[in-house]
Structure 1
Amino acid sequence: MPDLVPVRRALISVSDKTGLPELGRALAARGVEVLSTGGTAAALREAGCTVRDVAEVTGLPEMMDGRVKTLHPAVHGGLLALRDAPAHVEAMEAHGIPAIDLLVVNLYPFEATVAAGAEEAEAVEQIDIGGPAMIRAAAKNHAHVAPVVDVEDYDALLAELDANDGATTLAFRKALALTAFGRTAAYDAAVSGWMAESLGVFAPRRRVMGGRLAQELRYGENPHQRAAFYAETDPAPGVASARLLQGKELSYNNINDTDAAYALAAEFLPADGAACVIVKHANPCGAARAASPLEAYRKARECDPVSAFGGIVALNTTLDAATAQAILELFTEVVIAPAIDDEAQALFAQKPNVRLLKAPGLPNPGAPARAARQVTGGWLVQDADTRLVAPETLKVVTARAPSEAEMRDLAFAWAVAKHVKSNAIVYAKGRATVGIGAGQMSRVDSARIAAEKARAMAEELGLPEPPTVGAAVASDAFFPFADGVEALAAAGATAVIQPGGARRDAEVIAAAEAHGMAMVFTGERHFRH
């Protein structure tokens, strides 16, 4: 393979015209002949560049509304020909095929079109055929051709030409080929994923997931693990689309925990009041709703101030100065909110190591989504757990129905429990968590740990009794035995919400009755592993 390949001829055909005039003029100044098509050619000519139409090379005009313009041997021969293979060179000379040394192509905006809610016919028209074919041809022949598929690579291309007297190096072309094949793979993944959704096929024979590098991380969960963060083309509001206003780059664990915190914060509509969530190691250690974000933060922190140290704080509403001041009283790794006022941002600027993220809104907690997890040798794919409980589906199974206040706390605790690692037990009072038990092998252990957290909270705040007394409790899955309910009753809980459906439901209900507790069945569980 040759190392240096002079760039004498380029084919440019782009959907995104960003930087195109500058690129065209820069190539012209270096004596590069430019071939182009349609709108790209018009934009280049408008910028003062001399352009040769691809139709002049192929001998055929663009046809079928532009569907066919570059799918021709005169184009693909120029991209695929091996310049050091005599038979290839002879074929080019015999058929008048010009060698193409540089390909600049970005694809029809299929992903953006689908994200905008386009109808099927419009989406289909945005499936690029000629673009991916040319990209793959040039990338395959990177021994002789430089394929550029991203606008952000234009400057690197021009720097490469300047550094090598108008030529590209093999290492540079290989790097471009890697990016090119990744782009076409992600593009095809988007198309096949959209087709599966439009056909209602949950499990297609082959499933591909694509993403764009958002950040190469310092390391993964531990310093000896390499890691990177990839974002979807049009990510929903959240950590992937948030803007880092200050602080160091997010780590692997920061991203994972921030996503967990913001997803739970989004369960609570701002119209119904402020909500604050504090997460540590992917589990909520405090969550609360209140009239103001400051009150919500304080109530969330009171649940477990020890765990809140070094945690992630997420709000469902504007981060104001008063709340910012309170957050800065305790060491915090990351703060994320859908809006941040100027005073709050100025306060955080005094602590530049705190990572402050502004998200472009709240994710829709009930929107259909997919969740994927890699296992050894494969992937597990499922619908994301976006189910929201409807009040009319709840079933009171005890003689005593929950009071209005208990029902509010039950609904709140149930929303939180969905985001706690199973086995999950959540005590709530006044729409604030007062004890959380997470990730235990026994549901009874989770209940006891949550109660112990509440006792620690009482000591910290100087309360006369543990806040579990009179609290509502959520269990993410059913109680297989009555001992779980006995543990809740021993902590002073008065109401419990759980899926139901165990063989011993009658015993469990009887235990609740014996302690005067109200019990509600949801009919569905929320395991989170």
Structure 2
Amino acid sequence: MIPLSRGLNPHETALAEPLDPGEPPFELLHGSPSYINVLDALGAWEAVRALRDHTGTEACASFKHTSPAGIALGLPSLPGDEEFLDSGLLPPGQLGRAVVRARSTAPKCSYGDFVAVSGPVTTEAPLFAHAIGVIAPDFTPEALAALSCFNGGRFIVLRGNPAGPRSAGSTPVPETLETAGLRLTRSAAPLSGFAGGVRTETGTPGRPEDLAVAVTAVRHAQSNAMAFVVDGATIGIGMGQQNRLDCTRLAAARARTWQRRHHPDVLGLRFREGIGPAERAVWRARLAEGDLTASVRAEFADVLLHPADAGTEPDWSRTPPLSGVTLAADNHFPFVEVVELAARLGVTQLVTPAGSTDAGALRDACAEHGMSWVVTGERFFRH
């Protein structure tokens, strides 16, 4: 039995009890997690384990409110990433690169996030600053000591169990929810590969790493879920809306913000001394989003080395274009409009489960915009 610091709200109490005391999903090494922290940790842990098993590359997932804010593989960084990520020299190892890339998908979301990594934490501890906790297969004593000092000593450190109930080859464990006097139970067998196989409806599939990250992202986000991915990392995730178009527009807005953060005027911002990397990244994202109110511009001016820069709006037509982007959905696309929106953001690979009632029109739209369309065998709703 693990006492939790609170339930979903501060006035609630909560406990976590392993179904199998001999095989708990994690060991609490430091801190006092809340109910929502545990949900985020378990969701992120499941995502990175699946991605690492499938690709053979170290992975990181940043979760907030039970959905991914960013997921990435530790692929080699591209030229210019150091400036874009606002973190100086990037980590040389796969694990560190995965952390930086996942948590830079949406800096405003990955602030107070729960982070999961697929490999042991050694020298990467500083990369988890401004998170609320981390789950990993293990930690060096030095890393554990450093992490334990974060967040005023309240940072949560969990050692994940690689042999838990959702591990590859494990016996499926039903998922049970008790609410309003009713017990709901569903089979929760982990999906293998890409949910019953993959076929190509049109075109030639793109990078398999991007396909893997995109499918992992929508599998672990609240439905409806859409994810834009490039170079093995998410750049925009939309989830939790009641219709797929709203989810697409949310994901696209976040991807466009990620794109605009590459604008030379955004990269060229200079901050006054004492403004750390995480805060700088958030301000760059806020400028890239646009529509700053007067009070926010005043705050923005206060953190800049040259306050007058806060009143200058970049010429967004100079934003470097996106290309080679993958867009995945947790269910089929019901509208051709989704393809048209995707084309504006450089999407060349769509990934959906089978079942669209308008497959012919979607196929024609993909061909018109030069996109491949990869179809998986099953949908993966998550609530």
Normalised by the length of structure 2, the TM-score is 0.74
The 10-residue stretch of structure 1 (297-306 or 389-398) with the greater mean CA deviation from structure 2: 389-398
Aligned length: 306
Q: Point out where structure 1 has 5 or more consecutive residues left out of the alignment.
A: 1-213
Find the aligned partners of 1:465 and 1:496 in 2 and give their Cα distance.
Answer: 23
Per-residue CA deviations over 1:57-108 (Å, capped at 9, x if unaligned) read: xxxxxxxxxxxxxxxxxxxxxxxxxxxxxxxxxxxxxxxxxxxxxxxxxxxx
Letter in 1 for 2:141: D
Find the aligned partners of 2:162 and 2:195 in 1 and give their Cα distance.
Answer: 26
Q: In 2 relative to 1, CA 410–235 (structure 1 residues): closer, same or farther, beyond 3 Å?
A: farther
Letter in 2 for 1:289: L
Q: Which residue does 1:259 correspond to in 2?
A: 42
Find the aligned partners of 1:392 and 1:360 in 2 and give their Cα distance.
Answer: 26
Q: Which residue does 2:57 correspond to in 1?
A: 273
Q: In 2 relative to 1, CA 296–345 (structure 1 residues): closer, same or farther, beyond 3 Å?
A: same
Q: Which residue does 2:14 correspond to in 1?
A: 227
Residues 1:293 and 2:91 aligned together: no
Does the Cα contact within 8 Å between 1:455 and 1:467 map onto a contact in 2? no
Q: Which has the higher helix share?
A: 1
Q: Which residue does 2:338 correspond to in 1?
A: 484
CA RMSD of aligned residues (A): 2.2
Letter in 2 for 1:273: T
Aligned counterpart in structure 1 of residue 176 of structure 2, from 362, 365, 372: 372
Offset of 1:385 from its aligned partner?
A: 4.8
The DSSP-based 3-state class of the residue aligned with 1:231 is coil
Q: Which residue does 1:360 correspond to in 2?
A: 161
- Structure with higher Rg: it is 1
- What's the % identity of the aligned pairs? 30
Offset of 1:241 from its aligned partner?
A: 4.0
Residues 1:438 and 2:239 aligned together: yes
Written as runs of structure 1 = structure 2, the 5 A alignment for 1:473-512 is 473-512=327-366
Letter in 1 for 2:327: V
Offset of 1:486 from its aligned partner?
A: 1.8
Written as runs of structure 1 = structure 2, the 5 A alignment for 1:40-439 is 214-234=1-21, 236=23, 240-247=24-31, 249-269=32-52, 272-291=56-75, 292-321=94-123, 323-328=124-129, 331-351=130-150, 352-361=153-162, 363=164, 364-365=167-168, 367=170, 368-390=172-194, 393-398=197-202, 400-403=203-206, 405=207, 407-439=208-240
Find the aligned partners of 1:228 and 1:460 in 2 and give their Cα distance.
Answer: 41
Q: Point out where structure 2 has 5 or more consecutive residues left out of the alignment.
A: 76-93, 265-317
Find the aligned partners of 1:266 and 1:304 in 2 and give their Cα distance.
Answer: 22
Offset of 1:520 from its aligned partner?
A: 0.9
Offset of 1:293 from its aligned partner?
A: 0.7
Does the Cα contact within 8 Å between 1:260 and 1:419 map onto a contact in 2? yes
Offset of 1:390 from its aligned partner?
A: 4.9
Offset of 1:524 from its aligned partner?
A: 0.8
The DSSP-based 3-state class of the residue aligned with 2:28 is strand
Per-residue CA deviations over 1:273-322 (Å, capped at 9, x if unaligned) read: 2101000000000111115111000110110111000000100111121x
Does the Cα contact within 8 Å between 1:334 and 1:355 map onto a contact in 2? yes
Instruction: Flag the structure with more relative contact order, 1 or 2, with Cα contacts below 8 A and sequence separation at least 6.
Output: 2
Find the aligned partners of 2:263 and 2:70 in 1 and give their Cα distance.
Answer: 18
The 10-residue stretch of structure 1 (421-430 or 455-464) with the greater mean CA deviation from structure 2: 455-464
Offset of 1:469 from its aligned partner?
A: 3.3
Find the aligned partners of 1:391 and 1:223 in 2 and give their Cα distance.
Answer: 38
Offset of 1:379 from its aligned partner?
A: 1.6
